[in-house]
Structure 1
Amino acid sequence: MSKITILENKIIFERRDELTVIEPYGKNCLRYRSTRNISLSDEGWTLLPPNDCHCKVEGDSTSATITNGDISATITTGGGWIPSIVTYYRKGSQILRSRDEGDAVTKFTHLGGNNYKVKAIFDSNPGEHFYGLGQEQEDQFDRKGCSCNLLHYNTKSTLPVLYSSLGYGFLWNNPSPGLCETTLNHTLWCSDNAYQIDYLIWTGDKPADVMKIYCDLTGYAPKFPHWAAGFWQCKLRYESQEDLLEVARKYHSLGIPVAAIVIDYFHWTEQGDWKFDPKYWPDPKSMCDELLSMGIKPVVSVWPTINPNSENYAPMDDENMLVRTENGQYGLFNFYGLQTFIDPTNPKTGPYVWSKIKENYYRYGIKTFWLDEAEPEVHPQQFHNLRFYIGNGAQTALLYPYYYSKIFYDGLKSENEEEIISLTRAAYPGSQRFGSLVWNGDIPSTFDALRQSVTSGLSMAMCGIPWWNSDIGGFHSGDIESDYFRELIVRWFQFGLFSPVMRLHGARKKTASQVDRHPGVKETSGGDNEIWSFGDRNYPILKRLIELRERLKPYIIKYMDIASETGSPIMRPMFYDYYQDDICYTLDDQYMFGEDILFAPIMEQGVTKRSVYLPEGNWINVNDKCTYTGGKMLTATAEIHEFIAFVKEGSEVLTVFS
């Protein structure tokens, strides 16, 4: 026997083996939870408390409808083993309809205790487009017709949220690894290990409305630091204090503005010590003072790895501040010995780690951190064998980067810092509110990777992550003496110019003439990676791009402020502003940078021409300064020293390109 109970602000559906509740969760949003347990969990994971809302519930014991603003849902009981159906509507038009592939119990596969493998299945809508799900190195921007594993690893960061071209957003509120299929025959969400099915669906008239509600649910990025809109210099890696200062001094003497320079991994004494090795970094205070006097912010890489050789291992181990295994001893990542990871979900871990960061970095003037290995990078990826403070890894593993970023945000806030930005290799819904600047990991130095980075950045923008970047030039296998790489680095620099953050990084191949300056160092440097390292032709091109980025900073800050207030990203798909233009939903190789700049990157070797679609309005080509009427495709040209961008007629930003 199944029945529906109608309360003032929710629908309760009950039958043998299933308890379901549909209720409002803020403006134009509904939350669906269903379990085989006797009660539902109120755990919100990374959700913020909902804003006040007023809903209407009507119906009877066999069918009921709940309406919250522009969204409504109707549930019918079915009866017996006939599945119950939930149908969602946006302003009366159907947008999503559930279905059971088998009997009701197939949604839950018992694993032990109160946990199940859970899945929710919906009908496929012809012509619908999906965007989001985080970042990975692939060419699929429109996720329709795709299958996506829900897990993190180096180059892949999962955020289980989608935007639909039908005008709704969907958040799968389970931090368990799992699967999402947005295929032609159905849409399926699956968590490998969870207490309940839990998702939210909300609607809006345009993408910006949907994004704002999503940020109401998960948080907004803080105010973007003005300095961070400039050029960041980075390489794998500066081996010593003097090596780094030599590079900073040269940039300064050449009059090239540098916003930040990064001190990468293995500047430390041991993984888990979180302090400079005095042999190679003898005077961090004077180093930071000199950098800051040149207007350059020092950034330090912090890894969450730790092993028994670290001075912090025993006290953290004794207090359960490290990731445990359900079966076996420590050893989750083999990198210069077996490593485990700190457990940022333990409330004790944050204050302990921050006390070390404060003592060994912050007091020298270092206020920005590179949070590498943030997935975390465990091998093998047997999440059920991981034990976090908040639960088994099979249930909670996707939360790691969220809590890792939170440690540094909370620590900096405790020092009354307001300009907080942390470069991090993974994210989860809500990471944006901790100042997470996400990048797409250790990708190859290829034109394919450049093209896929554009897709990654746009996908992350639709997941509420407005602060994003990639390693300019790609991370590995770049040969700085090859014609291929020298062309690639220019085209990637142009993409970096129109990215939320412009950061040069990479492990370049060593050249035959390169001298090992510190033969005893544990992790040696790669090849040179400064803008004068890529040939005489490229140097003035790259220098001009950095200078142009400097002139663009007021424009960038304007849209970063908008992101902090409304959730709308600066790097946005064409359909974000032109949502009534069907063509814009098919474009994955050009995008808007704010409302006034359209950028069409060149992402193939030897290519100087490409097609560009101009939406409605008049557009000015930054190269020939001619005006073109929108609503059509055209062919644009850009030699290696040029890029393809159009500015909306009447925009003041055009003067920046003069």
Structure 2
Amino acid sequence: MKTGKLTGAKKNENRVELTFEEAVITIEVITENIVRVLNPCWKADYASIAIEKNVSIGTEFSFAEEKDKICIETSDLKLEVGDDFAFSFYDKSGKCLLSSYSGKRVIKETISEKTKKLLEAEGHKAAGGSKDYAVQVLFNRCGDEFFYGMGDKTGFLNKGGYAYENWNSDIPQLHNETMPALYKSIPFVMVKKTEGQPYGLFFDNTFHSYMDFGKENSSYFYYGADNGNLDFYFMTGDHLKDIVGKYTYLTGRAPMPQLWTLGYHQCRWGYENAEDIRKVAHLMRENHIPCESVQYDIDYMDGFRVFTWDEENYGPKGQLINELKQDGFKAVCIIDPGVKKDEGYFMYDEGIRNDYFAKDKDSEVYVNEVWPGDAVYPDFGREEVRKWWGDSHKILTDMGVQGIWNDMNEPASFRGPLPLDVQFHIGDRLTDHSEVHNVYGHFMSMGTYEGMKKITGKRPLVITRACYAGSQKYAAVWTGDNQSVWSHLRMLIPQLCNLGMSGFTIAGTDIGGFGGDSNAELMVRWVQAATFSTFFRNHCAKGQIMQEPWEFGEKVVRIYRKYVELHYRFLPYIYDLLHESQENGLPVMRPLVLNYDDDANTYELNDEYMVGENILVAPVVDQGVTKRMVYLPKGTWVDYWTKERYQGESYIIADAPIDTLPMYIKENSIIPMYENVQYVGEKAYDKLELLVAGKEAHYTHYQDNGEDFKYMDGEYNLYTFDWENGELKTNLVHEGYEKYKTVEVNVI
């Protein structure tokens, strides 16, 4: 991307337009600590999909032209730009945080043609060399950076030394730590150095893009894309939490969920009739394992036609759903984007009649294959198509469906990937699959969310596999088709923590693994590790052994029940954290580095996590382990089970027999808890229990009806609790909802 010499600069309100010999680049001051850099090398009037509102705040900044550079300075940061678009960002003390790399990429051919032919003859996949991209920027790497974010990319918490691609991909094979891409594209990274302020970079480009954090060369890291603009946001703050807050300020924050959606869900691709569903629901209650839904995978549809019901195998529409509703079960069903090509099928006929489907380069409706066979793809980038799709959910809600699970929306296809020249729209603008691919699932979730909200008036549960930055405004996520292997259990923590720091506060993994055969020990350790995840579901695939807890014997049922009940006990704490995230964007499940980014022991801690500020969880993620080392950060920590106290900034050896999840409560904290129920709504939550650790503590607690949007009109309660010298002081800061009948204190 050539720019040449800087020839001029002009300030216009919150923008500075820089003129180079071969480019015009705009610097936009969003806030005192967020700056946008735009090189419109593709399209000057491009409207962001991730950022849907005007985020610019009137911010005072100075602008100065010097001999060979321009300087832009706010109260919190400074940017200098010179010839060839050489730039540097500084913090308010003048320390350089990030600068462009002055050299060129070291483009290497990794193997010779001779070696390549030999490897291919042996059946090996030969790696090709690297290349320059149409859109590209290189940054200096000092060597002491730690990289976080990027959604649920595989591997470890710190992404330094790895390279990734943003290209939503349906990959059923075993996910290993070096996989470049999975189902989601979230081109956001936070960088923490051993000294100095952290910063974040969000690259707002939906085309196939590439992010290398020092794998290619230890001297730099880079962003590249096949097309689109160079459009990135630089943000800084005193702590990593500040960066999460600023990123979610830009791309939006997940709305409050219905309370029941945070409970436990059971699922299998392979419940093939009403009796299968009915049996699982019955055994959940018989074994006293709390459960909100037995979810419907693709088998419930008539010939895999979306928005239909297989009455032959599942009974009359609505009958099974209403039957199970009497015992507290809510219906959640899967919906794929592929519409069966079938004249006489209402969704196909309506889509054809209204010209709602994507077309090939010859303007014919594009056809590929998914579960129903030949299928066509709705053009979700168009508002009228999203409305049609969203309104179609009334067919399901009329049967009693309460939650929607969007799958196969990368979009997946069985006859090879969709060609890049398949024609789609973004709004009224005609474009192609190369631009739309990474936001196809985003647009589908948007249409689903808006449709369900309009139809039901309640907070929609939309779960999606594929998404883009900003999709957290419309959908919860899970990490896709994982496997029943210990390496995928180990990956749960960094994946969910990085998703949380990337804006997705409601996220989970398939407990026990989707593909492959699980076993008793793996199931127990998985449900323990996932106890505080905000999407809490056991799911597995057809053709694998059954994965309901009773399939592994009474001991597993007993332990499994213990941790599902524990999840329900802590629901008000989880709900409080989600309420707080409306203001700060912070996730429920956090890596320790997010809370303690001044403690180098936390920077690459892959096997522990925190729940908010007050709970530390250290799951066992290796087979046969009954003791494990746990790092406790600054403070005093209380073992939840034994009540033993430990001083922080130290390592301890924790006992972890098969029925024990090591977890610790931070001294001087209050944590709200509910009584156990078999499902949310079984009885009123009219009693609040406060778990108190320490002699002094303060806590703010939020309460509403957990269903609709009335809280936005003031129908909620906000309490503050202060614990001092054995006495609890309660203050109802805002009263707009039915109060608790009793509040009890349980002192550790």
State the TM-score, normalized to the length of structure 2: 0.78
Are the counterparts in 2 of residues 272 and 304 from structure 1 also a CA contact under 8 Å?
A: no
Secondary structure of the structure 1 residue equivalent to 2:276: helix
* 2-structure distance, mates of 1:294, 1:385: 50
Aligned positions of 1:194-273 closer than 5 A = 194=228, 196-273=229-306
In structure 1, the residue matched to 2:357 is 322
User: Is the CA contact (8 Å cut-off) linking 1:10 and 1:66 kept in structure 2?
Assistant: no
Q: What displacement does 1:101 show?
A: 4.5
Give me the whole-angstrom Cα distance separating, in 2, the residues matched to 1:488 and 1:244.
Answer: 24
Which among 541, 546, 549 is matched to residue 564 of structure 2?
Answer: 546
Aligned to 1:370: 405
2:505 corresponds to: 466
1:237–1:263 Cα contact (<8 Å) kept: no
In the other structure, the counterpart of 2:539 is: 505
Distance change (3 Å), C-alpha of 1:230 and 1:352: same
Alignment counterpart, residue 75 of structure 1, candidates 53, 75, 81: 81
Deviation of 1:51 (Å):
4.0
Structure 1 stretches (4+) deviating beyond 6 angstroms? 655-658
Distance 1:608 1:60 in 2: 64
8 Å Cα contact 1:160/1:172 also seen in 2:
yes
Q: Which residue of 2 aligns with 1:111?
A: none
Partner Cα separation in structure 1 for residue 620 and residue 254 of structure 2: 30
Give the SS at the match of 2:225: strand
User: Displacement of 1:528 after TM fit?
Assistant: 2.9
Which range is displaced more, 370-379 or 579-588? 370-379
Task: Report the equivalent of 1:40.
Answer: 44
| Deviation string, structure 1 residues 560-589 (Cα, Å, up to 9, x no partner) | 211233211000110111111111112111
The one-letter code sitting in structure 2 at the alignment partner of 1:97 is S
Match of 1:529 in 2: 547
Amino acid in structure 2 at the alignment position of 1:167: P
Q: 2:213 aligns with which of 182, 191, 194?
A: 182
In 2, Cα distance between equivalents of 1:381 and 1:90:
45
Matching residue's letter, 1:43: A
* Structure 2 CA distance for aligned equivalents of residues 264 and 230 of structure 1: 18
Q: In structure 1, what is the equivalent of residue 125 of structure 2?
A: none
Give the whole-Å Cα distance in 2 for the aligned partners of 1:403 and 1:118. Answer: 24
Q: Secondary structure at the match of 2:260?
A: helix
Structure 1: how far apart are the matches of 2:263 and 2:327? 14
Q: 1:54 to 1:590 in 2, by over 3 A?
A: same
Give the Cα–Cα distance (whole angstroms) in 1 for the partners of residues 419 and 97 of structure 2.
34
Q: Distance in 2 between matches of 1:326 and 1:190?
A: 27
Structure 1 vs Structure 2 CA RMSD: 2.3
Q: 1:131 aligns with which of 139, 148, 162?
A: 148
Match of 2:156 in 1: 140
Q: Tell me which residue corresponds to 1:651.
A: 669
Contact 2:404 2:461 in 1 (8 A): yes
Is the Cα–Cα contact under 8 Å of residues 86 and 100 in structure 2 kept in the other structure? Answer: yes
What's the CA shift string for 1:470-499, capped at 9, x where partnerless?
0000001115xxxxx111000001012121
* Counterpart position of 1:357: 393
Offset of residue 508 of structure 1: 6.1
Instruction: Using the TM superposition, name which of 446-455 and 315-324 deviates more.
Output: 315-324
Aligned pairs, how many? Answer: 615
Deviations 1:73-111 (A, max 9, x none): 1111x2xxxx231111222321111135459xxxxxxxx
Report the equivalent of 1:448: 487
Question: 2:339 maps to which residue?
Answer: 306
Mapped pair 1:557 → 2:580: no
The whole-number CA distance in structure 2 between the counterparts of 1:383 and 1:181 is: 26
Letter in 1 for 2:449: Y
2:375 is paired with a residue whose SS is strand
Task: Tell me, in whole angstroms, the C-alpha distance in 1 between the residues paired with 2:369 and 2:498.
Answer: 29
Shift of residue 440 of structure 1?
Answer: 0.8
> Using the alignment, how far apart are the partners of 1:445 and 1:63 within structure 2?
56
Helix, strand or coil at the partner of 1:129: strand
Alignment gaps of 5+ in structure 1: 104-115, 480-484, 510-525
- 2:97 aligns with one of 95, 98, 104: 95
Do the aligned partners of 2:302 and 2:308 also contact (CA within 8 Å) in 1? yes
What is the Cα deviation at residue 193 of structure 1?
Answer: 1.5
User: Secondary structure of the equivalent of 1:478?
Assistant: coil
Query: What SS does the corresponding residue of 1:374 show, helix, strand or coil?
Result: coil
After TM superposition, the structure 1 stretch with the greater mean CA deviation from structure 2, 15-24 or 339-348, is: 339-348
Q: SS of the residue aligned with 2:222? A: strand
Name the structure 2 match of 1:519: none
Q: What is the SS of the residue equivalent to 1:242?
A: helix
Q: Does 1:400 align with 2:440?
A: yes
Q: Which residue of the other structure, out of 475, 478, 495, is the alignment partner of 2:517?
A: 478
Contact 2:351/2:357 (<8 A) preserved: yes
Structure 2 CA distance for partners of 1:119 and 1:420, relative to 1, 3 Å: same
Task: Say whether the 8 Å CA contact 2:365–2:376 is kept in structure 1.
Answer: no
Structure 1 residues 230 and 334, CA, compared in 2 at 3 Å: closer, same or farther?
A: closer
With a CA cutoff of 8 Å and minimum separation of 6, indicate the structure with the bigger relative contact order.
1
One-letter amino acid of the counterpart of residue 19, structure 1: V
**What is the DSSP-based 3-state SS (H/G/I as helix, E as strand, rest coil) of the residue aligned with 2:451?**
helix
Q: Is the 8 A contact 1:383 1:397 kept in 2?
A: no
Change in CA separation of 1:396 and 1:130 when aligned onto 2, cut-off 3 Å: same
2:416 corresponds to 1:380: yes
> Partner of 2:9 in structure 1?
5
Identity of aligned residues (%): 26
Alignment partners' CA distance in 2, 1:657 and 1:341: 57
Task: Check if 1:409 corresponds to 2:449.
Answer: yes
Question: 2: distance between equivalents of 1:583 and 1:152?
Answer: 33
Q: Answer yes or no: is the 8 Å Cα contact 1:11–1:64 preserved in 2.
A: no
Residue in structure 1 matched with residue 463 of structure 2 by the alignment: 423
2:558 is matched by which residue type in structure 1?
Answer: P
Rounded to whole Å, the distance in 1 between the matches of 2:494 and 2:59 is 38
Letter of the 2:594 counterpart: Y
In structure 2, what is the Cα distance between the partners aligned to 1:273 and 1:581? 50
Which is worse superposed, 493-502 or 59-68? 59-68
Q: Which whole-Å CA distance do the structure 1 matches of 2:617 and 2:529 have between them? A: 8
Task: Give the C-alpha shift of residue 403 in structure 1.
Answer: 0.8
Does residue 583 (structure 1) correspond to residue 609 (structure 2)? The answer is: no
**Whole-Å separation in 1 of the counterparts to 2:469 and 2:77:** 22
Distance in 1 (alpha carbons) for counterparts of 2:406 and 2:632: 38
